[in-house]
Amino acid sequence: MGRLARVYAAVAVVVAAVAVAVVVVKRRGKGPKWGKVRAIFTDVERKCATPVARLRQVADAMAVEMHAGLASDGGSKLKMLLSYVDNLPTGDEKGLFYALDLGGTNFRVLRVLLGGKEGRVIKQEYEEVSIPPHLMLGGSHELFDFIAAALSRFVATEGDEFRIPEGKQRELGFTFSFPVKQLSIASGILIKWTKGFCIEETVGEDVVAELTKAMERQGLNMRVTALVNDTIGTLAGGRYEDSDVLVAVILGTGTNAAYVERANAIPKWHGLLPKSGDMVINMEWGNFKSSLLPLTEYDEALDFESLNPGEQIYEKLMSGMYLGEIVRRILLRMAQESSLFGEVVPQKLEIPFILSICDIVAQRGARLAAAGIYGILKKLGRDTVTSPKQRTVIAMDGGLYEHYSIFSECVNNTLRNLLGEEIAGTVVIKLANDGSGIGAALLAASHSQYLEG
């Protein structure tokens, strides 16, 4: 980060704080202890620093962990999960498919009519449903019943233009954005919940079986033909649009990345070598951890009080679910120790997750995300000029990247800086808005039970 940017970030926080403090001071006639405010601020700024040299080390550590995670299960904090996707969409996909995208506080149901190479996406419709918070912490049945009921209502609104041929079963791509040990393309066991979900009884269960039972309870005749993480869906959706897509990254409520690996570079894969020679890997990079990460006492306290202490440390440094919470903790400390907001700490500041994001913490997250992407490019050998020059596209999804321009600009600038101008010219980050839903439907199509051969 340049000096100016650092100063800007610093100023942004102080200006906001001062604005509030001045109002309070005018009312009460008492002032904050500015020396203390400055001391806390400088301390945070120093501890959040991400100089380029450090980012390069983070990228190297990421690449090392990728190798370790591919070598054996449990070999690394990076799970490097096999997706059983060895072929990405080609454009030939045809027919009506549904997708269900579950991974945050909302889920989406989607239907899409695919028309092959000529027709492409003929028509699509979707609906977004928010999940009542109690279902994120309740029982497995309740969550899956709620989802299946919404899906069933959505299917009931299917217009004539979407109708499937008589006697055929509707097919679904299920985007389930949590760490899953896949057993096949259409089954997989939940390893753990992340992002504020915590339903113990689902852990260790096949989530496709859970959903299928719930669909049966709804009387919905539908079959899951592809179970995918949102990164895999985004990769598939991105590849449908652009054949140079090799990596997908999510920067939203949570964060993660997937990429196309050569199957013979995956020592832990004991199955037959896929025809394509490729296997898409869900890295679960949110769980990356390294002594190189610039952690502060605020991050440590957040982690300690979270639903999953010790886990998803990289995610807790950069994703939308946590950024505001880190800032709140810093401001609360300032308020308590320096009367920044007057004698009385604003009550709202005591409430977890009350703030939005602020620059200094966001830039640390964005720069670390760029370092992660750079690490993947290094692993793929796309960090140097290839002959002939190859274009590398990263499909990106997630509200944090999409809506927070300071964040996305910082990811792009930092990546360019790490790559150097010449190679940066061959690497593109493409926003794949809701690519994961379409991607899941495309994978459902390419794994349809009705495919010949």
* Using rule CB under 6 A, residue 179 touches ligand GLC: yes
Q: Bridge-partner residues for 280, per DSSP?
A: 260
Q: For ligand GLC, which is the closer residue by CB, 256 or 414?
A: 256
* Using rule CB under 6 A, residue 234 touches ligand GLC: no
Distance CA 398, CA 431 (A): 9
* Using rule CB under 6 A, residue 83 touches ligand GLC: no
> Residues with catalytic annotation?
195, 230
Burial class (CB in 10 A: 0-12, 13-18, 19+), 426: middle
Taking contact as CB under 6 A, which single stretch among the options 22-30, 144-152, 223-231, 338-346 is the one that binds ligand GLC? 223-231
* Using rule CB under 6 A, residue 182 touches ligand GLC: no
Element at 143 (helix H, strand E):
helix 140-156
Residue positions counted in the chain:
453
| Minimum distance of ligand GLC from residue 16's CB (angstroms) | 29
Q: For ligand GLC, which is the closer residue by CB, 287 or 338?
A: 287
Among 95, 188, 238, 254, binds ligand GLC (CB under 6 A): 254
Q: For ligand GLC, which is the closer residue by CB, 69 or 95?
A: 69
Contact predicate 362/414, CB 8 Å: no
- Residue 83's identity, in one-letter code, is S
Q: For ligand GLC, which is the closer residue by CB, 250 or 340?
A: 250
Contact string (CB under 6 A) for ligand GLC, positions 258-297, x = contact: --------------------------x-x-----------
| Minimum distance of ligand GLC from residue 306's CB (angstroms) | 13
* Using rule CB under 6 A, residue 315 touches ligand GLC: yes
Element at 282 (helix H, strand E):
strand 278-282
Taking contact as CB under 6 A, which single stretch among the options 140-148, 150-158, 176-184, 427-435 is the one that binds ligand GLC? 176-184
Among 250, 355, 393, 445, binds ligand GLC (CB under 6 A): 250
Say how far residue 118 (Cα) sits from the centre of its chain: 32
Answer left, alpha or beta for residue 434, where phi above 0 means left and psi between -120 and 50 means alpha. Answer: left
Residue nearest to ligand GLC (CB): 254
- Residue 418's identity, in one-letter code, is L
* Using rule CB under 6 A, residue 103 touches ligand GLC: yes
* Using rule CB under 6 A, residue 89 touches ligand GLC: no
| Minimum distance of ligand GLC from residue 405's CB (angstroms) | 20
Residues binding ligand GLC: number (CB under 6 A):
17
Among 182, 229, 308, 339, binds ligand GLC (CB under 6 A): 229
Structure tokens at 191: 């390893």
Say how far residue 405 (Cα) sits from the centre of its chain: 17
| Minimum distance of ligand GLC from residue 323's CB (angstroms) | 14
Distance CA 285, CA 231 (A): 11
Taking contact as CB under 6 A, which single stretch among the options 16-24, 26-34, 175-183, 330-338 is the one that binds ligand GLC? 175-183
- Residue 286's identity, in one-letter code, is G
Q: For ligand GLC, which is the closer residue by CB, 318 or 358?
A: 318
Q: For ligand GLC, which is the closer residue by CB, 95 or 252?
A: 252
Distance CA 305, CA 95 (A): 47
Among 230, 261, 303, 434, binds ligand GLC (CB under 6 A): 230
| Minimum distance of ligand GLC from residue 27's CB (angstroms) | 43
Q: Looking up tokens 């400390």, which residue turns up?
A: 333
Distance CA 356, CA 333 (A): 17
Helix, strand, coil percentages (3-state) for the chain, rounded to 5, are 45, 20, 35
Say how far residue 170 (Cα) sits from the centre of its chain: 28
* Using rule CB under 6 A, residue 178 touches ligand GLC: yes
| Minimum distance of ligand GLC from residue 253's CB (angstroms) | 6
Q: For ligand GLC, which is the closer residue by CB, 108 or 195?
A: 195
Distance CA 432, CA 434 (A): 6
Distance CA 253, CA 130 (A): 14
Distance CA 104, CA 264 (A): 34
* Using rule CB under 6 A, residue 50 touches ligand GLC: no
Nearby residues of 415 by Cβ (< 8 Å), 6 or more positions away: 370, 373, 374, 424, 427, 429
Distance CA 438, CA 236 (A): 8
DSSP string, 148-176: HHHHHHHHHT--GGGPPPTTPPEEEEEEE
* Using rule CB under 6 A, residue 195 touches ligand GLC: yes
Q: For ligand GLC, which is the closer residue by CB, 32 or 286?
A: 286
Q: For ligand GLC, which is the closer residue by CB, 332 or 440?
A: 440
| Minimum distance of ligand GLC from residue 375's CB (angstroms) | 16
- Residue 239's identity, in one-letter code, is R
Q: Residue numbers of the site for ligand GLC (CB under 6 A)? A: 103, 177-179, 194-195, 229-231, 250, 252, 254-256, 284, 286, 315
